[in-house]
């Protein structure tokens, strides 16, 4: 390798540590501070088992995505893999738009969670949740406009702080666990544990952000897979022990009552009101960093889709060290924050992510010879995504009968947008990576 190439590699923003930090930052946000309470209200003291299954599914999915990223290195991530697998047609274009929109919905959900925790932390501002949500998204839009290097550096700092506090809380809280609360006598029906896997997987789903850093990554052939596996395993361990700490300190009725801020509530028995405040402040950091990481990914996805595909060209216009698509995404997120219901939107986003990832892994099977991935692992990833989606859809449809129609409506909206862009722009989504995985269309 030449000296010039070595220098170029060293200037790239993401090494293994930075990529792991970005993955953890994207996962540990909605996962711990939103999903743990909602999943706990379903699975009770078996929620830690749901997190194990969710973690296994995430590892399978992460393996498949990492192999695709190495073979097809593109900022677009899943969008590029869909086009590579299914061609430059309406199906892949619609799926790409749906995935992009799901990222925006996820950001809106996490931002609303930030607002809810901000209200809890500052009770005097009870109805200011949406204002806080919009404010934090705006701040991280500015940070992302300053470039990938600042995203990586800011993410490293936030992740270190929030994970340290979570580890401290979990370590202490485990010593105060009431065995009765985790006993077999208080165990819910086993099927409830399976129904909660969809939510627990959604707690991990930020790992796909790592694939969007491929063009800013040092030595991606080694770094991508390493960062993917390390980040998922570390987050899985954190989720499992934290869920034991929460369900070991709160009864199921208490978890259900405080499901939107269960982790902060679980700090009260151990640390009192001060502990609640500290965990609420940590929740603000965690959800903020998840917004930071996911905004970066959404911008890269939008840029890729617009560059040779089916989003308006405005997404590709440069603004400082980022793209105008970042601003467009922020504008689209705004009405979601203002008008959408948090719990339903979270479920819809979880289901859409599961289905899109299932489709992506199914397409990977068609390209298995090109990626050199293990067929059994990729097939297992495909089956797990669709299986978890079906379980989640079945359970949620019992309480929200219209959920299936919401999902169908989401797919229909993506198809209409794709068809409209084709008519108006006279352009179709295209492959960015051709022949050699090192040749990227500019």
Band the pLDDT of 309: cuts 50, 70, 90: low
- Residue 6 above 50 pLDDT? no
Is residue 170 packed enough to be buried (19+ CB in 10 Å), middle (13-18) or exposed (0-12)?
buried
Residues in a beta bridge with 440: 433
**Residue pair 235/204 in contact by the 8 Å Cβ criterion:** yes
DSSP 280-331: HHHHHHHHHHHHHHHHHHHHHHHHHHHHHSSS-GGGG-EETTEEHHHHHHHH
pLDDT tens digits for range 395-427? 888 777 777 887 888 888 888 877 777 777 666
CA dist list (Å): 112 to 103, 147, 209, 240, 284: 14, 25, 20, 25, 11
Question: For residue 29, what pLDDT band results from cuts at 50, 70 and 90?
Answer: low
- Answer yes or no: are the C-beta atoms of 23 and 209 closer than 8 Å: yes
Q: What are phi and psi of 82, to 5 degrees?
A: -65, -45
Task: Give the model's pLDDT for residue 310.
Answer: 59
Phi, psi of 36 (to 5 degrees): -60, -35
Report pLDDT digits (tens) over 191-221: 888 888 888 888 887 788 888 778 778 788 8
Least confident of 150-154, 170-174, 358-362: 150-154
Report d(CA 169, CA 191) in Å as an integer. Answer: 30
pLDDT at 62 over 90: yes
Strand-pair partners of 433: 440
Q: How far is CA 175 from CA 154, 248, 432, in A?
A: 33, 10, 52
Instruction: Centre a 10 Å sphere on the Cβ of residue 89 and count the other Cβ atoms it contains.
Output: 12
Residues in the chain: 442
Residue 427 in tokens: 């352009």
Residue 439 DSSP SS3: coil
- How far apart CA 216 and CA 75 sit, in angstroms, is 9
Give the pLDDT band of residue 1 (cuts 50, 70, 90).
very low
Q: Tens of pLDDT along 268-298?
A: 887 888 888 888 888 887 777 778 777 777 7
Please report which residue ranges of 146-267 form alpha helices under DSSP H.
148-173, 190-195, 197-204, 220-247, 252-257, 262-266
- Residue 139 to residue 179: CA distance in whole angstroms: 43
- Residue 180 tokens read as 């009765």
Structure tokens at 85: 């697998």
């Amino acid at each position: 390798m030449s000296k010039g190439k070595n220098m170029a590699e060293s200037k790239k923003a993401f090494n293994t540590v930075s990529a792991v930090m970005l993955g953890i930052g994207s996962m540990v946000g909605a996962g711990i501070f939103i999903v743990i309470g909602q999943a706990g209200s379903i699975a009770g003291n078996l929620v830690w088992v749901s997190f194990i299954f969710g973690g296994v599914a995430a590892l399978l999915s992460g393996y498949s995505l990492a192999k695709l990223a190495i073979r097809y290195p593109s900022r677009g991530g899943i969008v590029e893999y869909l086009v590579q697998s299914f061609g430059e047609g309406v199906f892949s274009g619609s799926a790409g738009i749906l995935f992009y929109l799901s990222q925006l919905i996820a950001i809106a959900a996490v931002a609303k969670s930030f607002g809810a925790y901000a209200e809890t932390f500052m009770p005097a501002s009870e109805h200011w949740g949406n204002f806080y949500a919009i404010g934090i998204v705006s701040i991280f839009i500015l940070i992302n406009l300053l470039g990938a290097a600042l995203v990586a550096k800011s993410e490293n700092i936030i992740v270190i702080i929030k994970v340290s506090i979570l580890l401290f809380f979990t370590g202490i809280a485990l010593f105060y666990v009431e065995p009765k609360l985790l006993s077999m006598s208080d165990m819910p029906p086993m099927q409830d544990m399976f129904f909660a896997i969809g939510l627990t997987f959604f707690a991990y789903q930020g790992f796909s952000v790592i694939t969007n850093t491929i063009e800013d990554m040092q030595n991606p052939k080694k770094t991508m897979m390493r960062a993917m596996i390390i980040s998922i395993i570390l987050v899985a361990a954190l989720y499992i022990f934290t869920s034991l700490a929460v369900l070991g300190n709160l009864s199921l009725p208490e978890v259900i009552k405080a499901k939107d801020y269960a982790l902060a509530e679980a700090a009260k028995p151990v640390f009192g009101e001060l502990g609640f405040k500290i965990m609420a402040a940590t929740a603000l950091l965690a959800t903020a960093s998840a917004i930071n990481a996911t905004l970066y990914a959404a911008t890269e996805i939008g840029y890729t889709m617009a560059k040779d595909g089916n989003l308006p060209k405005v997404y590709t216009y440069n603004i400082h060290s980022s793209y105008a698509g970042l601003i467009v995404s922020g504008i689209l997120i705004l009405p979601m924050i203002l008008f959408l219901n948090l719990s339903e939107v979270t479920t819809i986003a979880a289901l859409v992510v599961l289905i899109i990832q299932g489709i992506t892994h199914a397409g990977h099977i068609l390209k298995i010879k090109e990626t050199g991935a293990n067929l059994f692992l990729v097939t297992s990833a495909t089956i797990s995504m669709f299986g978890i989606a079906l379980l989640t859809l079945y359970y949620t449809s019992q309480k929200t009968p219209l959920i299936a129609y919401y999902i169908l409506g989401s797919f229909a909206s993506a198809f209409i947008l794709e068809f409209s862009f084709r008519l108006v722009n006279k352009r179709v989504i295209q492959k960015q990576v051709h022949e050699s995985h090192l040749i990227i269309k500019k």
